[in-house]
Amino acid sequence: MEFKLEAHRIVSISLGKIYNSRVQRGGIKLHKNLLVSLVLRSARQVYLSDPCPGLYLAGHPGAPAPPQQPEESAAGPPAGWGEPPPPAGRAAWPEPEPQPERPAVPEVLRAGDSEPAATVTAAGDTLQGGEAEAPEAAWRRVEGPRETAVGGAGVSGVFPEGPEAARGPCGCPPGDEDKLSAPPASPPVCARKRGAGWVGGGPADCPAPGSTPLKKPRRNSEEQPGGEEEEEEEMETGNVANLISIFGSSFSGLLRKSPGGGREEAEGEESGPEAAEPGQICCDKPVLRDINPWSTAIVAF
Amino acid sequence: MNYPDEITYGNKADIISTVEFNHTGELLATGDKGGRVVIFQREQESKNQVHRRGEYNVYSTFQSHEPEFDYLKSLEIEEKINKIRWLPQQNAAYFLLSTNDKTVKLWKVSERDKRPEGYNLKDEEGRLRDPATITTLRVPVLRPMDLMVEATPRRVFANAHTYHINSISVNSDYETYMSADDLRINLWNFEITNQSFNIVDIKPANMEELTEVITAAEFHPHHCNTFVYSSSKGTIRLCDMRASALCDRHTKFFEEPEDPSNRSFFSEIISSISDVKFSHSGRCIMTRDYLTVKVWDLNMENRPVETYQVHDYLRSKLCSLYENDCIFDKFECVWNGSDSVIMTGSYNNFFRMFDRNTKRDVTLEASRENSKPRAILKPRKVCVGGKRRKDEISVDSLDFSKKILHTAWHPSENIIAVAATNNLYIFQDKVN
């Protein structure tokens, strides 16, 4: 138990350091932030592997969310994840073909979800709110990023090599994995999507982009049809929150390379291993809810 | 533990960021956070005062780097001098390299003790004379003047580093040098400023797969084709430039297996190497990580031959040190002239020396009280628990804002320079 608290504290401190590094004179120090992200990964692993799920399921106030969120989420995890028919249906999807399914996904999920609209606008609640519409947003996002990748001027602020630097040759923005990690709603769905991405059949043919839920709140809060374009634009204008999310996601490679056995399939510092050990899933949401205040704070800037 | 919320250094720009003796030990250069370089010169020992060892006095001061702003990337470039390296002296002038995060400069420091007088077209104050009024011609002559030391930038090596430069090293061929940033190492020729060769590049194709960065690099003291670089993962790679143009494949790889019993959240941070130095003989390298100094034999890659604990009592405080950022402090380490003693800094203005032959070590303090002329430094001791003796200082009383990151040792004598925040201390071995 104390390990969990200690780990959580370290995660908070680490996020604070990454956040403060934005305003440091002389630009972001790659070495220091790399080390901080290593600590973040270690703390996160300890946090997630410490078996005491009961503590946080009672409903942490966390970020600004509709009051019914905590209960919904508390009761939600099993229901939300097991619930949507789509997962069953999705199992039949051919891997490298996300597009055809796109129209179908949102409808099905929306139908299955209890509170799509309300959750959507909750800026702070990344995963709770995003359960239903995150995959939906994810699907849309999969297409979008390619343009932003090239034009991501904001990225260059972080890694001063030019727009493509933080993206790698494939041009996949960190956002990609975000959708894939939409997780709590439908793990099988996510696994499928991620599979597509990993296999290389994804639209951007992106090998291993990372992401961070830090982007999710923003996306969720702009859940209009034009939301996607807005986001791309934000990335290109070098939105500060973007820098954090991009920067954070750029080290998600470390998070993926967990010694616990190859790919942990974790797309961000704060998103749990969605397709991974089912035994841990019940911890994920509480964990994420705990960390939400931080992501909210960072995104707010 | 002392964690002052506000660390007052006086003037932050005066914080010394690098210290380096030249090859004869006659000159000592310091660089600071404000971009200034101050050079001290040892005064000549006079025959009249044989007992008085040469003292170091200010010889030259100049502004090496200014703050810059990269408008394209909206980044401010700090003027802090990260490293100074001297070139061997080849004529009357002295040459040194100084670098900030992005730009390396070659400075020429020369003396002027004569000036020309008797110009035809200018009068003594320098005002131009009307040529129509000149009826005779004279030859200007050089007349003595008060000694003036001037520093001029001879070369500026810019725009070659995307990341922050952490090291520069002059090659033993004296024609080339290298500069290293977090992900790349470039080789320069002193005469050519618009090109450099990239000899190491560890940037992954996908930055999200980044797991380690370059932390320090140095050329071998005698073999101009060999250099080493250390990483944030605690490894050292030795490379041979004859093997290929891009030295991404190392010739030797030095790494010590991790001790599983010491594993913690911060294991990776404390294993990051902050400095690497070849011994003067060229047979060994010394590395500094957060808690230890290690000596490696170039012929043994799987573990160091010697490991010295600098301040192991901090091992249980790593979380607090992470919180206040002290765990990211980059300590340097130095060899003495004969490679028999190594020295490195610690907190509370303590610095440590380890004698490799006798295996004895000593902790000394750089402070004003101890530094009256001819005062002998008293060894200090940190009490790690239990009863504290009279002269000991407990771990919780250490002042973590007083850190000694930069030290230098005279190339042939027992004279050391220790930078304690914005003060420079020079200690000499007592004359028998």
In chain B, which among 259-318 make CB contacts under 8 A with chain A? 265-269, 272
Spell out the residues 6+ positions from residue A54 whose beta carbon is closer than 8 angstroms to its own.
none
State residue A27's pLDDT score. Answer: 85
B25 lies in some domain: yes
For residue A219, the number of C-alpha atoms closer than 13 Å in the C-beta half-sphere is 33
From the list A17, A35, A160, the residue facing B232 with the nearest CB is: A35
Q: Which residues of A touch B182 (CB under 8 A)?
A: 30-31
- What would the pLDDT profile of B125-160 be if each residue is shown by its tens digit? 888 888 888 888 999 999 999 989 999 999 999 999
Contact B232 A25 (CB under 8 A): no
DSSP string across B40-56: EEEPPPPGGGTTSPPPE
Q: Å from B76 to nearest chain A CA?
A: 5
* Smallest CA–CA distance from A168 into chain B, residue: B206
B216 lies in some domain: no
- The predicted model gives A281-298 an average pLDDT of 41
* Smallest CA–CA distance from B320 into chain A, residue: A10
Is residue B86 scored above 90 in pLDDT? Answer: yes
State residue A243's pLDDT score. Answer: 41
* pLDDT range class, residue B185, cuts 50, 70, 90: very high
Contact B164 A29 (CB under 8 A): yes
> Which contiguous run of DSSP H or E holds residue A127?
helix A127-143
- Is the CB of residue B200 less than 8 Å from the CB of residue B246? yes
Is residue B165 scored above 80 in pLDDT? Answer: yes
State residue A37's pLDDT score. Answer: 92
Contact A31 B183 (CB under 8 A): no
More confident residue, B232 or A42: B232
Is residue A301 scored above 80 in pLDDT? Answer: no
Q: What is the mean pLDDT of chain B?
A: 91
Is residue B170 scored above 60 in pLDDT? Answer: yes
Contact A39 B213 (CB under 8 A): no
* pLDDT range class, residue B10, cuts 50, 70, 90: low
Least trusted range by pLDDT, from A58-67, B114-123, B202-211, B273-282: A58-67
Is residue B353 scored above 60 in pLDDT? Answer: yes
Contact A43 B265 (CB under 8 A): yes
Spell out the residues 6+ positions from residue B2 whose beta carbon is closer than 8 angstroms to its own.
B397, B398, B399, B400, B401
B367 lies in some domain: no
Residue A253 contacts B where some CB pair is shorter than 8 Å? yes
Least trusted range by pLDDT, from A212-216, B174-178, B230-234, B348-352: A212-216
B366 lies in some domain: no
Which 3 state secondary structure label does DSSP give A142? helix
State residue B376's pLDDT score. Answer: 80
Number of domains in chain B: 1
Least trusted range by pLDDT, from B49-63, B89-103, B148-162, B234-248: B49-63
Is residue A191 scored above 70 in pLDDT? Answer: no
Q: What is the mean pLDDT of chain A?
A: 48
More confident residue, B247 or B202: B202
From the list A34, A43, A238, the residue facing B210 with the nearest CB is: A34
Give ∠ CA B410-B297-B272 in degrees, rounded to 5: 80
- What would the pLDDT profile of B25-40 be if each residue is shown by its tens digit? 999 999 999 999 999 9
Residue with tokens 């804002």: B401
- What would the pLDDT profile of A222-271 be if each residue is shown by its tens digit? 434 443 333 333 233 333 334 444 444 444 444 444 343 333 333 333 33
Backbone phi, then psi, for B353, in 5-degree steps?
-125, 140
State residue A270's pLDDT score. Answer: 39
Residue in B163, B164, B192, B159 with CA at minimum distance from that of residue B177: B192
* pLDDT range class, residue B332, cuts 50, 70, 90: very high
Q: Å from A224 to nearest chain B CA?
A: 30
Residue A222 CA to residue A243 CA, distance in Å, equals 18
Residue B32 CA to residue A108 CA, distance in Å, equals 63
Could you tell me the two tokens for B262? Answer: 């010491």
Residue B205 CA to residue A164 CA, distance in Å, equals 10
- What would the pLDDT profile of A193-225 be if each residue is shown by its tens digit? 443 333 333 344 433 444 444 444 344 444 344
Q: Number of H helices and number of E strands within chain A?
A: 17, 0
Residue with tokens 């397709």: A275
B88 lies in some domain: yes
State residue A52's pLDDT score. Answer: 65
Spell out the residues 6+ positions from residue B88 whose beta carbon is closer than 8 angstroms to its own.
B23, B174
Q: What proportion of chain A, given as a percentage, has pLDDT over 90?
A: 8
Is residue A20 scored above 80 in pLDDT? Answer: yes
Backbone phi, then psi, for B168, in 5-degree steps?
-135, 150
Residue B101 contacts A where some CB pair is shorter than 8 Å? yes
Residue A38 contacts B where some CB pair is shorter than 8 Å? yes
Residue in B204, B185, B195 with CA at minimum distance from that of residue B155: B195
pTM attached to this predicted model: 0.67
Q: What proportion of chain B, given as a percentage, has pLDDT over 70?
A: 94
In chain A, which among 64-83 make CB contacts under 8 A with chain B? none
B33 lies in some domain: yes
Residue B34 CA to residue A87 CA, distance in Å, equals 60
Is residue B178 scored above 90 in pLDDT? Answer: yes
Q: Which residues of B touch A6 (CB under 8 A)?
A: 319
Q: Å from B339 to nearest chain A CA?
A: 30
In chain B, which among 228-247 make CB contacts under 8 A with chain A? 232
Q: Which residues of A touch B164 (CB under 8 A)?
A: 26-27, 29-31
Q: Which residues of A touch B205 (CB under 8 A)?
A: 168-169
Is residue A182 scored above 80 in pLDDT? Answer: no
- What would the pLDDT profile of B26-83 be if each residue is shown by its tens digit? 999 999 999 999 999 998 876 666 555 678 999 999 999 999 998 888 889 999 999 9
Beta B68-70 vs B56-63: how paired, if at all? Answer: unpaired
Chains A & B: contacts with CB separation below 8 Å: 108
From the list B209, B269, B323, the residue facing A35 with the nearest CB is: B269
Which domain range does residue B59 map to? 14-108+151-156
* Amino acid found at B415: I
State residue B48's pLDDT score. Answer: 64
Which 3 state secondary structure label does DSSP give A53? helix
- Is the CB of residue B185 less than 8 Å from the CB of residue B210? no
The Cα-based distances of A189 to A279, B321, B391 in angstroms read 18, 43, 67
* pLDDT range class, residue A84, cuts 50, 70, 90: very low
B191 lies in some domain: no
Spell out the residues 6+ positions from residue A110 whose beta carbon is closer than 8 angstroms to its own.
A116, A132, A133, A136
From the list A39, A165, A251, the residue facing B269 with the nearest CB is: A39
B87 lies in some domain: yes
Residue B23 CA to residue B28 CA, distance in Å, equals 10
Contact B206 A169 (CB under 8 A): yes
Residue A182 CA to residue B310 CA, distance in Å, equals 47
Residue in A74, A99, A63 with CA at minimum distance from that of residue A217: A63
State residue B89's pLDDT score. Answer: 94
Contact A160 B75 (CB under 8 A): yes
Residue A164 CA to residue A149 CA, distance in Å, equals 7
